[in-house]
Amino acid sequence: MSHRILVDRNLPVPMRDGTLLMTDVYRTAGAGPLPAIVVRLPYGKSTLSMQAIQIEPVRAAEVGFAVVYQDTRGRFLSEGEFYPFVHEGADGYDTVEWVAGQPWCNGQVGMTGASYVGVSQWLTAVLQPPHLQAIFPIVSPSDLYEGMIYQGGAFQLGFTLLWTLLFLAPDTALRRAQAGEGGAGVAGRLLLASAQIADHYAYLPLSELPTLRESGTADYYFDWMAHQNCDVFWQSIDPTRLYDRVQVPAYNVGGWYDLFLLGTLENYARMREEGGTEAARAGQRLRVGPWAHGVYGGTYPDRSYGVQSSAGFVDLTGLQLRYFDYHLKGLDNGFDQDPPVRIFVMGEDRWRDEEEWPLARTHYECWFLRSGENAGGAGGGLSPAPPSREVPDVYEYDPHDPAPTIGGPSFLPGVAVGANCGPKDQRATETRPDILIYSSEPLQEALEVTGPLEVILYASTTVPDTDFVARLCDVSPDGTSRIIAEGILRARFREGYDRPSLVNPGEVNVFRLDLVATSNLFKVGHRVRVHVTSSSFPRFDRNPNTGRRLGQDRPSDLRSAVQTVFHDAEHPSHIVLPVVPRQT
C-alpha cells in the first residue's frame, strides 16, 4: 500500500523563554491524530546521514506515526545560544508538550535517538513531561562527567576535540558569520583543524589550543577542561542522580566497543532498580552489539563478526517501531514477552537472550598478574593461581612518547569506517618497553567472559600524579592480540572523582581500573592477555606527571615517571573476569 507523506518544514516551536526551535514533522496524509516520535538533535534535522542512525522518518510515518525532527537550541535553523546539555531537559519537555497539543497528535509521545540525542531523552525524562510515554536512547552516556567527557578522571581528548572541531563549532561559526558577528573563514579553519587533528591532539598546553580558543565558538570545551573534578558543574546536568524521577520505560542500545558503553549499561541496570514507577523499572530493555560509536555494521577492517551482527540485520528502525507500537499505540504485538536483554557474544559470534544484566549466573574470578616468561613470548603470566613472592615489574612512562591508542572503544578519525576503533591487533605496540604484558597459558577449555570488568593494580610511581591503563586482549594461536576492553585511572582520583589527592612518590597504592564490560568467548588454544601501561593517546590526554591542573602544562613541563607494578602475596594485582559457565 502506498502512502502520501506530508512534511511540514521549519515549524517554529516556542520554548518557555520565547526561543523558537525549528522543527520538521513527517506524517501520512489524511490520517487522524497519531502517536508521535520526537528526535531532537544538534547535527541538522534534515541531514540524511543523521536520520539514518536515529529513526527513518518516512518509514515510521508510513506505519502510522508522526515523526518530529528538531534542531536543538542554537543549532542550524533554531534560535538561541548553544551550550551542550544545559537546555536539553527544559527544551525537551516543552517540545514534547507542544507536540502532544497539536491536532495531528493523539497525545501519545515517545522520544528516540543516538548519542547526544540519547542524553537529551534522559534529561527530558527526569522532568516528567505528562505526555511522554517511552524513550529509546541509542549509544547514550549516563553521567556526563564519567564515561563521556572524562573516564577514570582522564580527559577523553580524542572524542571531545574531534566532536567539537568537526560536529559542533563549525555551525556556530557559520551562524555568527551570517549574523555579521565573525569572519566567514572561521568555520573553514575549524574544519581544516579537524582534518589535521593529530597536530591538535599533540598541542600543549591543552587549555590554549589557538584554533578553537581564538574562534570563540566553543567556550564549553574549555569549561569542561576547567572542571576536571566531578563538581557541581557536572552534578547539575547529571541524570544518574535522578533515576527515581524517570517514570517511563526505555530501550537502551549500545556496543561493546562504544565509548559510551558505561552509560548504556548503567542506565539500564540502575533504572531497573531505581526507576520512578514499576512501569519504568519493568519496562527497561537492553541490546548490546559488537559495535563502536558510529560503526554499526559489525565489520571492522581486520575483523568481521558476521552478517547477523550488523545493525542493518537487526533493523534498528524496525525495532523502534515495534517498541513504539506497543508503548504508544497499545498494540498487543508480543513485545512485553521478549526477554529484557539481548547481547552479542563475540568469539561465538551470535546473539543471545538473557533475563538480566549483569548475568546472575556469572562467576567472578580473579586472574593474577604473575612473574616470568610464558610460551607466548616475553612477559609475565596471568593465572587464577595467586602469587607468593614475586619481584615487581618496572617501566618508564614518558609523556613525550606516550603509548598510542590502537582500536578499542575510541572515537578517532576514520571512525565511520571503523579504521581506528574496535578489535584491532595490538602486536605493533606490545614490543614497547612502557607496556607490561601478562598472558595466560593457552586455554584447554573455552572461556566465556561476559559482564563488568575491573583491574585491581598495586603500584607506585615516582611522581605526584600519573595514569595507569589496562587492556584485556584475546590472543589467537597465530599471535594476533585483539583488544577487547580498555580502562584508565588518573592516580589523583583513586579515592573518587570529587576527591582528588596527589600521591606520595614511592608509596604503594591500590588503583581500581574500570574496563567497563564485554561479552567475549576465548576459544580453546587462545590466551587471555592483560596490558598495563600509563597512556592510551590520543583517546585520553597524556598525563604530564606534574600534578598540576589539567591543561596547564607546556611541552617543557612534561616529566617522566618510573612506574612499579607489584604482584605478590601482599599486593596481588589482578583482573576480575566475569566468567559465565558454558551451557551444554
Give catalytic residue positions.
115, 258, 293
The residue among 248, 316, 254 whose CA lies nearest residue 282 is 248
Rounded distance between C-alpha atoms, residue 472 and residue 483, angstroms: 6
Q: Are 6 and 37 in contact (CB under 8 A)?
A: no
Helix (H) or strand (E) holding 578: strand 574-579
Rounded distance between C-alpha atoms, residue 438 and residue 426, angstroms: 13
Residues written for the chain: 584
Give every CB contact of residue 80 below 8 A, 6+ residues apart in sequence: 15, 19, 21, 73, 74, 87
Extract the runs of DSSP E, i.e. beta strands, from 390-466: 393-397, 436-439, 447-461
Supply the angle between the helices 169-178 and 186-195 in degrees, to the nearest 10. 160
Residue 441 corresponds to which cell in the numbers above? 597459558
Helix (H) or strand (E) holding 213: helix 210-215
- Maximum pairwise Cα distance, the chain: 79
Under DSSP, the state recorded for 424 is -
Rounded distance between C-alpha atoms, residue 288 and residue 220, angstroms: 31
Q: Are 427 and 479 in contact (CB under 8 A)?
A: yes
Helix (H) or strand (E) holding 320: helix 316-328
The residue among 432, 414, 434 whose CA lies nearest residue 424 is 414
Would strands 341-345 and 380-383 be described as parallel, antiparallel, or unpaired?
unpaired
- With the C-alpha atoms ordered 347, 349, 351, 353, is the resulting torsion angle positive or negative? negative
Rounded distance between C-alpha atoms, residue 449 and residue 514, angstroms: 15
Q: Determine the 3-state secondary structure of 527 from DSSP.
A: strand
Residue 327 corresponds to which cell in the numbers above? 508503548
Rounded distance between C-alpha atoms, residue 254 and residue 382, angstroms: 30
Which amino acid, 476? S
Q: Are 250 and 110 in contact (CB under 8 A)?
A: no
Q: Are 196 and 174 in contact (CB under 8 A)?
A: no
